[in-house]
Amino acid sequence: MTTKRIIGLTDDEIIEGLRDRDPQKTRDYFYGYCRIAYHIYDRQYDLQWKQGLDFYSIAHEYYISLDKHDFKQLEDRKPGLSLKTWMINGFRFILLDRLKAYNKEHRVQSFEERIGKDNVHFDVPDNNFSEDFRKTVFEICHDIYGRDSKSSIILQMLLIDGFKGKEVATQLGLTPSAVTQRFHKMMNDVVIPYFKRYYEAPMESACLEAPMADFEVSKTMSYESQISTYMEKDYSKRITPDYISQLQPNEIFVFGSNLAGMHGGGAARTARLYFGAKMGVGVGPQGQSYAIPTMQGGPETIQPYVDDFLAYAKEHPDQTFLVTPIGCGIAGFTPDEIAPLFRDAINIDNIHLPKSFWDELK
C-alpha cells in the first residue's frame, strides 16, 4: 500500500510533525526540502562525484543537528522567511563544512583560497595576470559599484594598492570591522563570481540550437505542454545578462524591491544609481526600471506584483524587459521558488529572464 504525499500543511504543522518524528512528514518535507537543496548545490559543486558528499550523508547530518535542539532553530528563523527557504539555506551550511573537509583531505584548492595567496594567480600565466587582474577590478568598480563609491575605494585599496584593512578604515572614517565585513560581502557576492565567469573554463553545451519557429500556444494547453513546446525553441536570446551596466533606449531593468522603496542594496541600488529608480517608490515603472516587491512575505505575496508586471510588459511590446534574479538576494528566496511565478512570461517575447529561472522552468 502506497502512502500519498501530505500537501497543504502550514510551516508550524510541518515543524510539529518533525518534532513528533512523523515518518511521512519527515520524508515528504524534511528530506523533500533537502532534495531540492542538494539538486541546487550539486550543480555548483558536483557533489555526487565526491566521496562522503552523497545526499543521505549530508541530509542525515542536517537532521541530527536540528533534532539535537528539538527543531527550535526552525521557529527562530527570520519573520517572513518561509520554512522551505530557511531549510535550503541551512542545508548549505552543513554542505560547506563537509566540502571544506573534503577539500582539505584531497588537497583541493578553491578559487576563494587561491585569491588570498600572492604566489598563486588563478589559472592564467603570471605575466598576464597582474594587468588582467587590475583591469577586471577596475571594471567591477566602475560598472557595478560606481567609480567613486566607498565600495570601489575599498576594493581598489585592498586588492590593487596593497593597503591593510586598518589603513583603509582610517582613510574612509569607518571601523576596521565594517571594512572587513563589506569587503568579504563584495568578494562573495560579486568579485569571485565575476572572476569565475572569465577565468574558469565554461562547460560545453550539449544542446544543439533548434531553428526558430512561430510559437503560438492555445489557452487550453497545460503549463507542462507550454514548457515542452517552448523548450523546442531557442530561448538563449531571452536570457538576462549576469551584469548590466548600461541599457539600450528600449530596455527596462526589472529588479526586486521593498514596498517602502528603500533602494539601498543589490540590484535595487543599481536601479537607483543608473536606471532612474526613485527612493520611496517600491512598485512599478520608474525611469528605465521596473520594481517588483519581494520583501513582504512568501512567494505567494510576490505573485500579484509579477502578474501586474507581465500585464505591463504585454502592453509595451516595443520595450524589452530584463528581469534580474528578483528575490534571490537579500530577500532570501531561491530560483526554484521564484521562477514559477514567471511561468506566463514564457510566451511574452519581450521579457528576458535569468538563466537560473529558465533552468527551473524547463
Please report whether residue 213 resides in a domain. Answer: no
pLDDT of 310 reads 95
In this structure, the answer to whether residues 171 and 263 fall within a common structural domain is no
Q: What is the pLDDT of residue 315?
A: 94
Residue at 6 is within a domain: no
User: Is 236 in the same domain as 355?
Assistant: yes
In a domain, 205, yes or no: no
Which pLDDT does position 104 carry in this prediction?
Answer: 65
Look at residue 210 and tell me if it is in a domain: no
Report the percentage of the chain scoring pLDDT > 70.
Answer: 78
Q: Answer yes or no: are the C-beta atoms of 263 and 277 closer than 8 Å.
A: yes
Greater confidence, 183 or 226?
183
Q: Is residue 282 part of a domain?
A: yes
- For residues 22 and 73, membership in a common domain is answered with yes
**Which range is least confidently modeled, 153-157, 186-190, 209-213, 260-264?**
209-213
Contact in structure between 362 and 231 (CB atoms under 8 Å): yes
pLDDT at residue 230 tops 70? no
| 322 beta partners | 253, 352
Lay out the sheet containing 284-286: strands in order across. 284-286, 289-293, 251-257, 320-323, 351-352
Q: Where are the alpha helices (DSSP H) in 141-231?
A: 150-155, 165-172, 176-186, 192-199, 223-230
pTM given for the model: 0.41
Question: Is residue 207 a part of any domain in this protein?
Answer: no
Please write the tens of the pLDDT for every residue from 114-154.
445 444 333 444 444 556 667 778 778 877 877 667 888 88
pLDDT class of 233 with cuts at 50, 70, 90: low
154-203: per-residue pLDDT in tens?
888 887 777 777 878 877 788 888 888 888 888 878 877 776 665 443 33
| pLDDT exceeds cutoff 80 at 316 | yes
Question: Into how many domains does the chain fold?
Answer: 3
Asked if residue 277 is part of any domain, the answer here is: yes
Helices assigned H by DSSP within the chain: 11-19, 23-25, 31-45, 55-67, 72-75, 83-105, 111-115, 126-140, 150-155, 165-172, 176-186, 192-199, 223-230, 266-274, 299-315, 335-338, 355-361
Measured distance CA(301)–CA(304) in Å, rounded: 7
Answer whether residue 205 shows pLDDT above 50.
no
pLDDT tens-digit readout, 5-46: 555 788 889 999 999 988 888 888 888 888 888 887 777 677
Q: pLDDT tier at 56 (50, 70, 90 boundaries)?
A: confident
Whether residues 241 and 346 share a domain: the answer is yes
State the average pLDDT over residues 227-248: 72
Considering the domain architecture, whether residues 99 and 121 belong to the same structural domain is answered as no
The residue among 55, 72, 105 that closes a domain is 105
| Claim to verify: residue 189 and residue 227 sit in the same structural domain | no
Contacts 24+ apart (CB under 8 A), 182-187: 182/150, 182/151, 182/154, 183/154, 183/155, 183/158, 186/145, 186/151, 186/154, 186/155, 187/112, 187/115
C-alpha closest to that of 15 among 56, 59, 72, 63: 72
Q: Considering the domain boundaries, does residue 87 fall inside one?
A: yes
Residues 240 and 123 in one domain: no
Least Cα distance to 297 among 262, 269, 259 occurs for 259
CB 313 within 8 A of CB 343: no
- Over the stretch 76-100, which tens digit does the pLDDT of each residue have? 877 778 888 888 888 888 888 887 7
One domain for residues 146 and 74:
no
Write the CATH number for 271: 3.40.220
Residues 338, 236: one domain? yes
Do 83 and 124 lie in one domain? The reply is no
Higher pLDDT: 65 or 149? It is 65
The reported pLDDT for the residue numbered 202 is: 39
Residues 252-277 have a mean pLDDT of 88
Last residue of a domain, which of 105, 125, 149?
105
Asked if 238 and 351 sit in the same domain, the reply is yes
Q: How far apart are CA 48 and CA 42, in angstroms?
A: 7
Residue 338: per-residue pLDDT: 93
pLDDT score of 290:
96
Range of the domain at 286: 223-361
C-alpha cell read off for 171:
582613510
- Domain boundary, last residue among 54, 79, 105: 105
190 and 267 inside one domain: no
Residue 97 is placed in which grid cell? 563544512
